[in-house]
Amino acid sequence: MPFTPFHMGPGILVKAVLQGSFSLMVFGWAQIVMDIQPLFVLVTGDGHLHGFSHTYVGATLLAVFSALSGKYLSEIGLKISGIAKKGRSITIRWWVSFLSAFIGTYSHVVLDSIMHGDVEPFYPFSQVNGLLGLISVPQLHQLCLYSALVGAIIFYSVQYVRRKT
């Protein structure tokens, strides 16, 4: 199913480890961008469900798009949401935007390669998906959920310690 929240679990863990050197909003935007093509296929019934967007070549192109557009969208979203304090803005550095987008698109390909038989991550060079069935789908979902929980605990623990010192 497109736009699955499970993909955010590993992103939350990466955010906890990298803190300000990673944008969870750009990462999330990259997840959405990755699943536009499968959504189109589901709506129209035309095309390969996990086609070019779910290859590393496609993910590279979508990461560049996600980084370029996601930086500005995320900064606007942070301001509108009130996370950026009134009268101040949060600027996402370009390298953070690109790192976050590439981690987002590549992790998306990895996770979907494990659970979807139609993903060909190395296309057009190979049609082999060596990750398919590496772990079961329920185990993959648990891994994503647990990474979100561990990431949240780490993130808020670091924030707590920073406030106390």
At a CB cut-off of 8 Å and minimum separation 6, what does 39 contact? 2, 3
Phi, psi of 144, deg, nearest 5: -65, -45
- Average pLDDT rounded to a whole number, residues 61-79: 96
pLDDT at 76 over 80: yes
pTM above 0.85, yes or no: yes
**25 is in which domain, residue-wise?**
5-164
Average pLDDT over residues 85-113: 92
Mean pLDDT of 128-147: 97
Q: Average pLDDT for residues 88-96, to the nearest whole number? A: 91
Q: What is the pLDDT of residues 27-61, one digit of tens each?
A: 999 999 999 999 999 999 999 999 999 999 999 99
**Total domains present in the chain:** 1
Residue 90 has what pLDDT?
85
What was the pLDDT predicted at 84? 72
Is the bond into 124 cis (omega within 30 degrees of 0)? yes
Token reading at 133: 């069935």
Query: In whole numbers, what is the pLDDT of the chain averaged over residues?
Result: 94
